[in-house]
Chains A and B, each alone.
Chain A
Amino acid sequence: MTNLPSSAAPQVWTVRAKRCVSALLFLHLAAVIAAPMAVEPASILSRSVWSVFQPYLDVTYLNHGYRFFAPEPGPSHLIRYEMELSGGRKLQGYFPDARTHRPRLLYHRYFMLSEHLGALTDVTPPPVALDACSRSFGRHLLQMHSGQRVRLYLVRHLLPHPDAFVKGQKLDDPALYREKLLGEYSLADSRMDTVRR
Protein backbone atom coordinates (compact mmCIF):
# COMPACT_ATOMS: atom_id res chain seq x y z
CA MET A 1 0.00 0.00 0.00
CA THR A 2 1.15 3.52 -0.69
CA ASN A 3 1.83 5.63 2.35
CA LEU A 4 0.52 9.17 2.37
CA PRO A 5 2.58 12.05 3.66
CA SER A 6 1.53 12.85 7.17
CA SER A 7 2.59 15.30 9.81
CA ALA A 8 2.25 12.73 12.58
CA ALA A 9 4.52 9.73 12.87
CA PRO A 10 2.97 6.28 12.72
CA GLN A 11 2.97 4.13 15.82
CA VAL A 12 5.66 1.49 16.06
CA TRP A 13 4.63 -1.91 17.34
CA THR A 14 6.88 -3.90 19.64
CA VAL A 15 8.03 -7.37 18.64
CA ARG A 16 5.94 -8.85 21.44
CA ALA A 17 2.80 -7.07 20.24
CA LYS A 18 3.45 -8.25 16.70
CA ARG A 19 3.84 -11.85 17.86
CA CYS A 20 0.62 -11.80 19.86
CA VAL A 21 -1.37 -10.23 17.01
CA SER A 22 0.24 -12.59 14.48
CA ALA A 23 -0.94 -15.58 16.50
CA LEU A 24 -4.49 -14.19 16.63
CA LEU A 25 -4.46 -13.40 12.90
CA PHE A 26 -3.21 -16.89 12.10
CA LEU A 27 -5.97 -18.50 14.17
CA HIS A 28 -8.62 -16.24 12.67
CA LEU A 29 -7.54 -16.96 9.10
CA ALA A 30 -7.41 -20.68 9.85
CA ALA A 31 -11.01 -20.42 11.07
CA VAL A 32 -12.10 -18.42 8.02
CA ILE A 33 -10.67 -21.09 5.69
CA ALA A 34 -11.90 -24.01 7.82
CA ALA A 35 -15.56 -22.96 7.39
CA PRO A 36 -15.86 -23.44 3.59
CA MET A 37 -13.46 -26.41 3.71
CA ALA A 38 -15.86 -28.32 5.97
CA VAL A 39 -18.85 -28.14 3.62
CA GLU A 40 -19.69 -31.57 2.17
CA PRO A 41 -17.97 -33.30 0.50
CA ALA A 42 -15.28 -32.70 3.13
CA SER A 43 -12.36 -34.69 4.45
CA ILE A 44 -12.16 -35.95 8.03
CA LEU A 45 -9.26 -33.53 8.55
CA SER A 46 -11.28 -30.54 7.30
CA ARG A 47 -14.21 -31.44 9.53
CA SER A 48 -11.92 -31.94 12.53
CA VAL A 49 -10.23 -28.56 12.06
CA TRP A 50 -13.61 -26.90 11.55
CA SER A 51 -15.01 -28.44 14.75
CA VAL A 52 -12.24 -26.72 16.72
CA PHE A 53 -13.19 -23.32 15.33
CA GLN A 54 -16.95 -23.88 15.13
CA PRO A 55 -17.91 -22.00 18.32
CA TYR A 56 -15.90 -18.96 17.21
CA LEU A 57 -17.31 -19.12 13.68
CA ASP A 58 -20.86 -19.49 14.95
CA VAL A 59 -20.69 -16.60 17.38
CA THR A 60 -19.12 -14.25 14.83
CA TYR A 61 -21.46 -15.40 12.02
CA LEU A 62 -18.52 -16.40 9.82
CA ASN A 63 -19.52 -20.05 9.49
CA HIS A 64 -20.31 -20.11 5.77
CA GLY A 65 -19.41 -22.23 2.76
CA TYR A 66 -19.67 -19.43 0.16
CA ARG A 67 -21.24 -21.82 -2.40
CA PHE A 68 -22.94 -19.09 -4.42
CA PHE A 69 -24.79 -20.76 -7.35
CA ALA A 70 -22.70 -23.88 -6.75
CA PRO A 71 -22.28 -26.63 -7.67
CA GLU A 72 -24.73 -25.21 -10.23
CA PRO A 73 -27.80 -22.99 -10.30
CA GLY A 74 -30.71 -25.21 -9.29
CA PRO A 75 -34.50 -25.08 -9.11
CA SER A 76 -36.12 -22.58 -6.78
CA HIS A 77 -38.72 -23.20 -4.11
CA LEU A 78 -41.93 -21.57 -3.00
CA ILE A 79 -44.30 -22.33 -0.14
CA ARG A 80 -47.98 -22.64 -1.03
CA TYR A 81 -50.62 -22.74 1.67
CA GLU A 82 -54.31 -23.58 1.91
CA MET A 83 -56.02 -22.34 5.03
CA GLU A 84 -59.39 -22.89 6.64
CA LEU A 85 -60.70 -19.78 8.32
CA SER A 86 -63.52 -19.53 10.81
CA GLY A 87 -66.97 -20.03 9.27
CA GLY A 88 -65.63 -22.51 6.74
CA ARG A 89 -64.04 -19.86 4.54
CA LYS A 90 -60.87 -20.79 2.60
CA LEU A 91 -57.70 -18.83 1.97
CA GLN A 92 -54.89 -19.70 -0.41
CA GLY A 93 -51.55 -18.03 -0.93
CA TYR A 94 -47.87 -18.52 -1.48
CA PHE A 95 -44.58 -16.92 -0.73
CA PRO A 96 -42.40 -15.34 -1.90
CA ASP A 97 -44.77 -13.13 -3.85
CA ALA A 98 -43.12 -10.33 -5.84
CA ARG A 99 -46.45 -8.48 -6.06
CA THR A 100 -46.81 -8.01 -2.30
CA HIS A 101 -43.28 -8.34 -0.95
CA ARG A 102 -41.58 -5.07 -1.80
CA PRO A 103 -38.92 -3.76 -2.00
CA ARG A 104 -36.87 -6.49 -3.61
CA LEU A 105 -34.81 -7.10 -0.48
CA LEU A 106 -37.96 -7.93 1.49
CA TYR A 107 -39.04 -10.28 -1.31
CA HIS A 108 -35.63 -11.93 -1.07
CA ARG A 109 -36.10 -12.49 2.69
CA TYR A 110 -39.31 -14.42 1.98
CA PHE A 111 -37.59 -16.20 -0.88
CA MET A 112 -34.82 -17.33 1.47
CA LEU A 113 -37.41 -18.79 3.87
CA SER A 114 -38.76 -21.05 1.13
CA GLU A 115 -35.34 -21.72 -0.46
CA HIS A 116 -33.70 -22.82 2.77
CA LEU A 117 -36.71 -24.96 3.67
CA GLY A 118 -36.43 -26.53 0.21
CA ALA A 119 -32.78 -27.29 0.88
CA LEU A 120 -33.73 -29.04 4.13
CA THR A 121 -36.03 -31.39 2.22
CA ASP A 122 -33.04 -32.61 0.20
CA VAL A 123 -31.30 -33.90 3.33
CA THR A 124 -31.71 -37.58 4.18
CA PRO A 125 -32.92 -38.47 6.69
CA PRO A 126 -35.07 -35.33 7.02
CA PRO A 127 -33.61 -33.17 9.79
CA VAL A 128 -35.60 -32.17 12.85
CA ALA A 129 -35.30 -28.57 11.66
CA LEU A 130 -37.48 -29.32 8.61
CA ASP A 131 -40.49 -30.24 10.70
CA ALA A 132 -39.78 -27.49 13.24
CA CYS A 133 -39.59 -24.83 10.54
CA SER A 134 -42.67 -26.07 8.66
CA ARG A 135 -44.61 -26.08 11.91
CA SER A 136 -43.37 -22.59 12.72
CA PHE A 137 -44.44 -21.32 9.28
CA GLY A 138 -47.85 -22.91 9.79
CA ARG A 139 -48.29 -21.34 13.22
CA HIS A 140 -47.29 -17.92 11.91
CA LEU A 141 -49.76 -18.11 9.02
CA LEU A 142 -52.58 -19.24 11.31
CA GLN A 143 -51.90 -16.42 13.75
CA MET A 144 -51.57 -13.85 10.98
CA HIS A 145 -54.88 -14.77 9.33
CA SER A 146 -56.71 -16.05 12.43
CA GLY A 147 -57.04 -19.40 10.68
CA GLN A 148 -58.22 -22.74 12.02
CA ARG A 149 -56.09 -25.11 10.02
CA VAL A 150 -53.39 -24.76 7.37
CA ARG A 151 -51.85 -27.09 4.86
CA LEU A 152 -48.35 -26.25 3.62
CA TYR A 153 -46.83 -27.38 0.34
CA LEU A 154 -43.29 -27.02 -0.91
CA VAL A 155 -43.38 -26.09 -4.59
CA ARG A 156 -40.22 -26.88 -6.53
CA HIS A 157 -39.90 -24.81 -9.70
CA LEU A 158 -37.65 -26.67 -12.14
CA LEU A 159 -35.62 -24.90 -14.81
CA PRO A 160 -36.13 -25.65 -18.51
CA HIS A 161 -33.22 -26.75 -20.66
CA PRO A 162 -32.17 -23.94 -23.03
CA ASP A 163 -33.09 -26.11 -26.04
CA ALA A 164 -36.59 -26.66 -24.64
CA PHE A 165 -36.93 -22.92 -24.11
CA VAL A 166 -35.87 -22.20 -27.69
CA LYS A 167 -38.50 -24.70 -28.84
CA GLY A 168 -41.17 -22.77 -26.98
CA GLN A 169 -41.36 -24.02 -23.40
CA LYS A 170 -42.19 -21.18 -21.03
CA LEU A 171 -40.38 -20.60 -17.74
CA ASP A 172 -43.71 -20.91 -15.90
CA ASP A 173 -44.85 -24.03 -17.77
CA PRO A 174 -47.03 -26.00 -15.26
CA ALA A 175 -44.98 -29.10 -16.13
CA LEU A 176 -41.99 -27.47 -14.40
CA TYR A 177 -43.68 -27.31 -10.98
CA ARG A 178 -43.53 -30.17 -8.44
CA GLU A 179 -45.51 -30.02 -5.23
CA LYS A 180 -44.90 -31.82 -1.96
CA LEU A 181 -47.02 -31.70 1.19
CA LEU A 182 -45.00 -30.41 4.13
CA GLY A 183 -47.71 -30.84 6.74
CA GLU A 184 -51.12 -29.81 7.99
CA TYR A 185 -51.20 -27.77 11.12
CA SER A 186 -53.88 -26.58 13.48
CA LEU A 187 -54.15 -23.99 16.22
CA ALA A 188 -57.00 -25.93 17.79
CA ASP A 189 -54.76 -26.74 20.71
CA SER A 190 -51.86 -24.66 21.92
CA ARG A 191 -49.30 -27.36 21.16
CA MET A 192 -49.61 -26.86 17.39
CA ASP A 193 -49.93 -30.57 16.80
CA THR A 194 -49.34 -31.92 13.35
CA VAL A 195 -52.70 -33.14 12.12
CA ARG A 196 -51.38 -35.21 9.29
CA ARG A 197 -48.08 -35.66 7.51
Chain B
Amino acid sequence: MELLSNYFRELRSAALDGWDRFWFTPAPAHTLGLVRILAGAMMFYTHLVWTLDLDAFFGSQSWLDHAAVAALQADSSAWSPLWLCEPRVVLPAVHLTALIVFACLSLGIWTKTSSILSFVLVVSYAHRAPLAMFGLDQINALLALYLAIGPAGDALSLDHWRARHWSVVEPQAPPSVGANISIRLIQLHLCVIYLFAGLSKLQGPAWWNGSALWYAFANLEYQSLDMTWTAHHPWLINLMSHTVLVWEISYVALVWPRLTRPLVLAMAVPLHMGIALCLGMSTFGLVMLIANVAFVDPALIASMVRWRQSEPRQIRMARVPAPHSRPTTQVRIRR
Protein backbone atom coordinates (compact mmCIF):
# COMPACT_ATOMS: atom_id res chain seq x y z
CA MET B 1 0.00 0.00 0.00
CA GLU B 2 2.83 2.33 0.91
CA LEU B 3 4.55 1.41 -2.34
CA LEU B 4 1.45 2.44 -4.26
CA SER B 5 1.07 5.74 -2.43
CA ASN B 6 4.76 6.49 -2.99
CA TYR B 7 4.32 5.79 -6.66
CA PHE B 8 1.39 8.19 -6.98
CA ARG B 9 3.19 10.85 -4.93
CA GLU B 10 6.20 10.57 -7.21
CA LEU B 11 3.98 10.57 -10.31
CA ARG B 12 2.17 13.72 -9.16
CA SER B 13 5.42 15.47 -8.34
CA ALA B 14 6.99 14.53 -11.68
CA ALA B 15 3.87 15.59 -13.61
CA LEU B 16 3.72 18.97 -11.87
CA ASP B 17 7.45 19.57 -12.37
CA GLY B 18 7.18 18.55 -16.00
CA TRP B 19 4.20 20.82 -16.60
CA ASP B 20 6.03 23.70 -14.92
CA ARG B 21 9.18 23.17 -16.98
CA PHE B 22 7.26 22.69 -20.22
CA TRP B 23 5.19 25.87 -19.98
CA PHE B 24 6.99 28.26 -17.64
CA THR B 25 10.65 28.02 -18.66
CA PRO B 26 11.53 31.42 -20.14
CA ALA B 27 12.51 31.14 -23.80
CA PRO B 28 14.08 33.61 -26.23
CA ALA B 29 11.64 35.09 -28.74
CA HIS B 30 13.66 34.31 -31.89
CA THR B 31 11.59 31.30 -32.96
CA LEU B 32 8.39 33.23 -32.35
CA GLY B 33 9.86 36.15 -34.29
CA LEU B 34 10.66 33.99 -37.30
CA VAL B 35 7.19 32.40 -37.23
CA ARG B 36 5.74 35.93 -37.06
CA ILE B 37 7.68 37.11 -40.13
CA LEU B 38 6.67 34.11 -42.22
CA ALA B 39 3.09 33.76 -40.99
CA GLY B 40 2.48 37.49 -41.34
CA ALA B 41 3.75 37.34 -44.92
CA MET B 42 1.46 34.38 -45.62
CA MET B 43 -1.54 36.19 -44.14
CA PHE B 44 -0.66 39.22 -46.27
CA TYR B 45 -0.51 37.12 -49.45
CA THR B 46 -3.64 35.13 -48.57
CA HIS B 47 -5.64 38.32 -48.22
CA LEU B 48 -3.93 40.10 -51.08
CA VAL B 49 -5.36 37.44 -53.39
CA TRP B 50 -8.87 38.19 -52.09
CA THR B 51 -8.37 41.68 -53.58
CA LEU B 52 -8.78 40.20 -57.06
CA ASP B 53 -12.37 39.15 -56.31
CA LEU B 54 -13.19 41.02 -53.12
CA ASP B 55 -16.75 41.97 -54.02
CA ALA B 56 -17.60 38.48 -55.28
CA PHE B 57 -16.70 36.90 -51.95
CA PHE B 58 -17.35 39.64 -49.40
CA GLY B 59 -19.57 42.25 -51.10
CA SER B 60 -23.33 42.70 -50.94
CA GLN B 61 -23.86 40.47 -54.00
CA SER B 62 -21.33 37.81 -53.02
CA TRP B 63 -21.39 34.09 -53.72
CA LEU B 64 -22.59 33.52 -50.17
CA ASP B 65 -25.39 35.79 -49.04
CA HIS B 66 -26.76 36.26 -45.52
CA ALA B 67 -29.20 33.35 -45.83
CA ALA B 68 -26.53 30.91 -47.03
CA VAL B 69 -24.01 31.79 -44.32
CA ALA B 70 -26.76 31.80 -41.67
CA ALA B 71 -27.74 28.28 -42.76
CA LEU B 72 -24.11 27.12 -42.71
CA GLN B 73 -23.57 28.63 -39.24
CA ALA B 74 -27.02 27.72 -37.89
CA ASP B 75 -25.72 25.99 -34.75
CA SER B 76 -22.60 28.08 -34.47
CA SER B 77 -21.51 31.13 -32.50
CA ALA B 78 -19.49 32.36 -35.47
CA TRP B 79 -20.09 35.89 -36.69
CA SER B 80 -18.09 38.22 -38.86
CA PRO B 81 -17.80 42.01 -38.54
CA LEU B 82 -17.35 42.03 -42.33
CA TRP B 83 -21.15 41.87 -42.61
CA LEU B 84 -21.04 45.51 -41.57
CA CYS B 85 -18.56 46.37 -44.32
CA GLU B 86 -20.55 45.51 -47.43
CA PRO B 87 -20.98 49.01 -48.90
CA ARG B 88 -18.70 49.52 -51.88
CA VAL B 89 -16.53 52.14 -50.19
CA VAL B 90 -16.24 50.54 -46.77
CA LEU B 91 -15.19 47.06 -47.86
CA PRO B 92 -12.10 48.15 -49.89
CA ALA B 93 -11.08 50.49 -47.06
CA VAL B 94 -11.33 47.71 -44.48
CA HIS B 95 -9.51 45.35 -46.81
CA LEU B 96 -6.67 47.82 -47.36
CA THR B 97 -6.42 48.28 -43.60
CA ALA B 98 -6.24 44.51 -43.18
CA LEU B 99 -3.36 44.28 -45.66
CA ILE B 100 -1.49 47.02 -43.81
CA VAL B 101 -2.06 45.20 -40.51
CA PHE B 102 -0.68 41.92 -41.93
CA ALA B 103 2.34 43.77 -43.35
CA CYS B 104 2.94 45.37 -39.93
CA LEU B 105 2.72 41.96 -38.28
CA SER B 106 5.27 40.46 -40.64
CA LEU B 107 7.67 43.38 -40.27
CA GLY B 108 7.13 43.63 -36.53
CA ILE B 109 5.67 47.13 -36.40
CA TRP B 110 3.49 47.84 -33.35
CA THR B 111 3.57 44.09 -33.05
CA LYS B 112 1.25 43.58 -30.07
CA THR B 113 -1.53 45.63 -31.70
CA SER B 114 -0.96 44.28 -35.20
CA SER B 115 -0.90 40.65 -33.98
CA ILE B 116 -4.22 41.00 -32.12
CA LEU B 117 -5.80 42.79 -35.09
CA SER B 118 -4.42 40.13 -37.46
CA PHE B 119 -6.17 37.41 -35.51
CA VAL B 120 -9.47 39.32 -35.49
CA LEU B 121 -9.17 39.98 -39.23
CA VAL B 122 -8.23 36.41 -40.24
CA VAL B 123 -11.19 35.06 -38.27
CA SER B 124 -13.53 37.74 -39.65
CA TYR B 125 -12.73 36.85 -43.26
CA ALA B 126 -13.09 33.13 -42.49
CA HIS B 127 -16.49 33.53 -40.84
CA ARG B 128 -17.81 35.74 -43.66
CA ALA B 129 -17.18 33.22 -46.47
CA PRO B 130 -16.91 29.84 -44.71
CA LEU B 131 -17.50 27.78 -47.85
CA ALA B 132 -14.44 29.28 -49.57
CA MET B 133 -12.04 28.43 -46.75
CA PHE B 134 -9.67 25.49 -46.41
CA GLY B 135 -6.67 24.29 -44.40
CA LEU B 136 -4.64 27.39 -45.18
CA ASP B 137 -7.12 29.60 -43.34
CA GLN B 138 -7.27 27.20 -40.39
CA ILE B 139 -3.50 27.36 -39.92
CA ASN B 140 -3.41 31.13 -40.52
CA ALA B 141 -5.98 31.57 -37.75
CA LEU B 142 -4.20 29.44 -35.17
CA LEU B 143 -0.83 31.06 -35.91
CA ALA B 144 -2.40 34.52 -35.62
CA LEU B 145 -3.97 33.54 -32.29
CA TYR B 146 -0.72 32.28 -30.78
CA LEU B 147 1.29 35.21 -32.14
CA ALA B 148 -1.20 37.56 -30.47
CA ILE B 149 -0.74 35.79 -27.13
CA GLY B 150 3.05 36.00 -26.93
CA PRO B 151 5.69 38.72 -27.29
CA ALA B 152 6.05 38.15 -31.03
CA GLY B 153 7.82 41.49 -31.53
CA ASP B 154 10.61 40.89 -29.02
CA ALA B 155 12.96 39.56 -31.69
CA LEU B 156 13.52 39.95 -35.43
CA SER B 157 11.14 42.89 -35.59
CA LEU B 158 11.30 46.55 -36.51
CA ASP B 159 9.94 47.27 -33.03
CA HIS B 160 13.01 45.60 -31.56
CA TRP B 161 15.33 47.24 -34.07
CA ARG B 162 13.95 50.70 -33.20
CA ALA B 163 14.32 50.00 -29.48
CA ARG B 164 17.96 48.99 -30.02
CA HIS B 165 18.83 52.08 -32.00
CA TRP B 166 16.94 54.67 -29.98
CA SER B 167 18.04 53.50 -26.55
CA VAL B 168 21.32 54.49 -24.94
CA VAL B 169 21.59 51.02 -23.41
CA GLU B 170 21.16 48.22 -25.88
CA PRO B 171 17.90 46.51 -24.90
CA GLN B 172 18.26 42.77 -25.30
CA ALA B 173 14.80 41.29 -24.84
CA PRO B 174 15.14 38.72 -22.06
CA PRO B 175 13.87 35.18 -22.52
CA SER B 176 10.23 35.19 -21.51
CA VAL B 177 7.60 32.75 -20.37
CA GLY B 178 5.18 34.37 -22.82
CA ALA B 179 7.38 33.48 -25.80
CA ASN B 180 7.65 29.92 -24.52
CA ILE B 181 3.86 29.58 -24.06
CA SER B 182 3.17 30.83 -27.59
CA ILE B 183 5.65 28.44 -29.15
CA ARG B 184 4.43 25.53 -27.01
CA LEU B 185 0.85 26.19 -28.11
CA ILE B 186 1.84 26.15 -31.78
CA GLN B 187 3.83 22.94 -31.25
CA LEU B 188 1.00 21.16 -29.43
CA HIS B 189 -1.63 22.33 -31.89
CA LEU B 190 0.50 21.04 -34.74
CA CYS B 191 0.77 17.67 -33.00
CA VAL B 192 -3.03 17.53 -32.66
CA ILE B 193 -3.44 18.38 -36.36
CA TYR B 194 -1.04 15.70 -37.58
CA LEU B 195 -2.35 13.09 -35.15
CA PHE B 196 -5.95 13.49 -36.25
CA ALA B 197 -4.98 13.86 -39.90
CA GLY B 198 -3.19 10.52 -39.58
CA LEU B 199 -5.73 8.69 -37.42
CA SER B 200 -8.65 9.70 -39.66
CA LYS B 201 -6.80 8.23 -42.64
CA LEU B 202 -6.91 4.84 -40.93
CA GLN B 203 -10.66 4.77 -41.66
CA GLY B 204 -9.95 4.65 -45.39
CA PRO B 205 -8.98 1.44 -47.21
CA ALA B 206 -6.83 3.38 -49.69
CA TRP B 207 -4.34 4.33 -46.97
CA TRP B 208 -4.12 0.66 -45.91
CA ASN B 209 -3.73 -0.77 -49.41
CA GLY B 210 -1.30 2.03 -50.26
CA SER B 211 -3.18 3.47 -53.25
CA ALA B 212 -4.26 6.71 -51.52
CA LEU B 213 -1.68 8.98 -53.10
CA TRP B 214 -2.64 7.76 -56.55
CA TYR B 215 -6.14 9.14 -55.96
CA ALA B 216 -4.63 12.45 -54.87
CA PHE B 217 -2.41 12.57 -57.98
CA ALA B 218 -5.28 11.49 -60.27
CA ASN B 219 -7.51 14.35 -59.18
CA LEU B 220 -7.48 16.74 -62.13
CA GLU B 221 -9.00 19.59 -60.14
CA TYR B 222 -6.16 19.49 -57.60
CA GLN B 223 -3.39 18.51 -59.98
CA SER B 224 -0.70 21.10 -60.68
CA LEU B 225 2.09 18.68 -61.58
CA ASP B 226 1.34 15.52 -63.52
CA MET B 227 2.34 12.60 -61.30
CA THR B 228 0.16 10.02 -63.05
CA TRP B 229 3.30 8.21 -64.26
CA THR B 230 3.35 6.70 -60.75
CA ALA B 231 0.44 4.46 -61.84
CA HIS B 232 3.09 2.36 -63.60
CA HIS B 233 5.00 1.97 -60.32
CA PRO B 234 2.47 0.80 -57.71
CA TRP B 235 5.18 0.03 -55.17
CA LEU B 236 6.24 3.69 -55.28
CA ILE B 237 2.68 4.88 -54.62
CA ASN B 238 2.43 2.33 -51.79
CA LEU B 239 5.70 3.52 -50.27
CA MET B 240 4.71 7.20 -50.44
CA SER B 241 1.20 6.54 -49.04
CA HIS B 242 2.50 4.48 -46.12
CA THR B 243 5.27 6.99 -45.40
CA VAL B 244 2.78 9.87 -45.19
CA LEU B 245 0.56 7.86 -42.84
CA VAL B 246 3.37 6.71 -40.55
CA TRP B 247 4.93 10.17 -40.48
CA GLU B 248 1.65 11.89 -39.55
CA ILE B 249 0.75 9.45 -36.80
CA SER B 250 4.25 9.27 -35.31
CA TYR B 251 4.85 13.04 -35.47
CA VAL B 252 3.28 13.60 -32.03
CA ALA B 253 5.82 11.22 -30.43
CA LEU B 254 8.96 11.66 -32.52
CA VAL B 255 9.05 15.45 -32.83
CA TRP B 256 9.89 15.90 -29.12
CA PRO B 257 13.10 13.83 -28.61
CA ARG B 258 16.26 15.76 -29.51
CA LEU B 259 17.59 13.01 -31.76
CA THR B 260 14.46 12.37 -33.83
CA ARG B 261 13.24 15.97 -34.13
CA PRO B 262 15.55 16.94 -37.03
CA LEU B 263 14.49 13.83 -38.96
CA VAL B 264 10.78 14.48 -38.39
CA LEU B 265 11.12 18.13 -39.42
CA ALA B 266 13.24 17.20 -42.45
CA MET B 267 10.48 14.81 -43.55
CA ALA B 268 7.95 17.65 -43.32
CA VAL B 269 9.71 19.48 -46.15
CA PRO B 270 9.24 16.93 -48.99
CA LEU B 271 5.75 16.08 -47.73
CA HIS B 272 4.47 19.63 -47.67
CA MET B 273 6.41 20.70 -50.74
CA GLY B 274 4.86 17.70 -52.50
CA ILE B 275 1.41 19.01 -51.60
CA ALA B 276 2.49 22.45 -52.77
CA LEU B 277 3.93 21.38 -56.12
CA CYS B 278 1.78 18.39 -57.10
CA LEU B 279 -1.62 19.27 -55.66
CA GLY B 280 -1.68 22.98 -56.41
CA MET B 281 -1.75 24.06 -52.78
CA SER B 282 1.51 25.93 -52.44
CA THR B 283 0.06 28.24 -49.80
CA PHE B 284 -1.19 25.38 -47.64
CA GLY B 285 2.08 23.47 -47.99
CA LEU B 286 4.07 26.56 -47.05
CA VAL B 287 1.89 27.52 -44.08
CA MET B 288 2.30 24.03 -42.63
CA LEU B 289 6.07 24.38 -42.96
CA ILE B 290 5.85 27.79 -41.28
CA ALA B 291 4.03 26.19 -38.35
CA ASN B 292 6.78 23.56 -38.17
CA VAL B 293 9.34 26.36 -37.65
CA ALA B 294 7.98 26.45 -34.07
CA PHE B 295 10.14 23.39 -33.41
CA VAL B 296 13.37 25.08 -34.47
CA ASP B 297 15.64 25.98 -31.57
CA PRO B 298 15.69 29.77 -30.96
CA ALA B 299 19.45 29.58 -30.38
CA LEU B 300 19.90 28.30 -33.94
CA ILE B 301 17.79 31.12 -35.38
CA ALA B 302 19.60 33.70 -33.24
CA SER B 303 23.01 32.42 -34.33
CA MET B 304 21.95 32.55 -38.00
CA VAL B 305 20.77 36.13 -37.55
CA ARG B 306 24.01 37.11 -35.80
CA TRP B 307 26.00 35.47 -38.59
CA ARG B 308 24.03 37.34 -41.25
CA GLN B 309 24.50 40.62 -39.41
CA SER B 310 28.20 40.22 -38.72
CA GLU B 311 29.40 38.63 -41.99
CA PRO B 312 29.48 41.72 -44.26
CA ARG B 313 31.13 43.80 -41.55
CA GLN B 314 33.75 41.16 -40.89
CA ILE B 315 34.56 41.07 -44.60
CA ARG B 316 34.84 44.83 -44.63
CA MET B 317 37.08 44.70 -41.58
CA ALA B 318 39.29 42.10 -43.15
CA ARG B 319 39.92 44.33 -46.16
CA VAL B 320 40.53 47.52 -44.18
CA PRO B 321 42.00 46.70 -40.76
CA ALA B 322 40.52 49.03 -38.17
CA PRO B 323 43.07 50.96 -36.10
CA HIS B 324 42.98 50.46 -32.34
CA SER B 325 42.13 54.12 -31.96
CA ARG B 326 38.61 53.49 -33.26
CA PRO B 327 36.91 51.33 -30.66
CA THR B 328 33.41 52.24 -31.90
CA THR B 329 34.01 50.15 -35.04
CA GLN B 330 34.68 47.10 -32.93
CA VAL B 331 31.54 47.69 -30.87
CA ARG B 332 29.54 47.75 -34.09
CA ILE B 333 31.08 44.47 -35.23
CA ARG B 334 30.05 42.74 -32.05
CA ARG B 335 26.45 43.74 -32.70
Contacts and interface: CB of A to CB of B under 8 A. Distances in A.
A132 B68 contact: yes
Quick one: which of A6, A63, A111, A136 has the most chain B CB within 10 A?
Answer: A136
Given A8-B171, A113-B63, A25 B132 contact: no
B28 A4 contact: yes
Nearest to B61: A143
B314 interface: no
B133 interface: yes
A22 B23 contact: yes
Interface stretch (A71-79, A84-92, A178-186): A71-79
Interface of A: 1-4, 6-11, 13, 18, 21-22, 25, 28-29, 32-33, 36-37, 39, 54-55, 58-76, 78, 96, 103-113, 116-117, 127-129, 131-133, 135-137, 139-140, 143-144, 157, 159-160, 162, 165-166, 171-172
A11 B177 contact: yes
B77 interface: yes
Quick one: which of A65, A105, A128 has the most chain B CB within 10 A?
Answer: A105
B215 A6 contact: no
13 contacts: A1-B183, A18-B24, A21-B181, A61-B127, A70-B207, A105-B283, A106-B53, A131-B71, A133-B68, A133-B72, A135-B67, A139-B61, A162-B214
Given A18-B23, A104-B282, 12 more contacts: A6-B174, A36-B192, A61-B138, A71-B202, A72-B215, A105-B136, A108-B281, A113-B132, A140-B65, A162-B211, A162-B234, A171-B220
Interface string B170-198: 11111111001101010011001100110
Contact of B219 (A9, A37, A159): A159
Interface residues of B, number: 100
A137 B63 contact: yes
Given A61-B78, A165-B228, A4 B298 contact: yes
Interface of B: 19-20, 23-28, 30-31, 45-46, 49-50, 52-53, 56-57, 61-65, 67-68, 70-74, 76-78, 122-123, 126-127, 131-138, 141-142, 145, 170-177, 180-181, 183, 185, 188-189, 192-193, 196-197, 200-207, 211-216, 218-224, 228, 231-232, 234, 237, 280-283, 297-299, 302
A70 B198 CA distance: 8
A135 B66 CA distance: 11
A6 B172 contact: yes
Contact of B231 (A1, A65, A71, A162): A162
Contacts of A137: 63
B134 A108 contact: yes
A109 to B, nearest CB: 5
Given A22-B23, A135-B68, A136-B67, A172 B28 contact: no
Contacts of A160: 218
Contacts of A133: 64, 68, 71-72, 131
A127 B74 CA distance: 11
Contacts of B76: 54, 58, 63
A60 B123 CA distance: 7
Contacts of B132: 109-110, 112-113
B185 A28 contact: yes
B200 A13 contact: no
B41 to A, nearest CB: 14
* 5 A-B pairs with least C-beta separation: A71-B204, A72-B204, A10-B26, A136-B68, A132-B71
B61 A71 contact: no
Contacts of A171: 218, 220, 223, 228
A172 B220 contact: yes
Given A10-B174, A159-B218, A104 B280 contact: yes
